[in-house]
Amino acid sequence: MRDDDGKQVPLNAGSRGLARDPADIYEQQEARTCAGCTHVSSIEILGDRRPICAKGKPYGRKCKLYAYTERR
């Protein structure tokens, strides 16, 4: 009887993030987004609320205008 299922794991799997903590992966992905920026506001169109950038930049990618303030 074999312990494995026959699948091979590449030697560099850890460098691509396959063996990392899911919380670390989530934090790294959030660091690239607009989450937490003070310039984010929202607009309602036909009952659908969407986040937008108040500075006119595309929403979703962190830009050089990113400004973070900790909310308490």
The answer to whether residue 1 scores a pLDDT higher than 50 is no
pLDDT for the residue numbered 7: 61
Between the alpha carbon of residue 39 and those of residues 2, 31, 63, the distances in Å are: 56, 16, 11
pLDDT for the residue numbered 23: 86
Q: What digits encode the pLDDT tens for the residues 17-68?
A: 556 788 888 888 888 888 888 888 999 999 999 999 989 898 888 888 888 7
Report residue 67 as tokens.
Answer: 């400004």
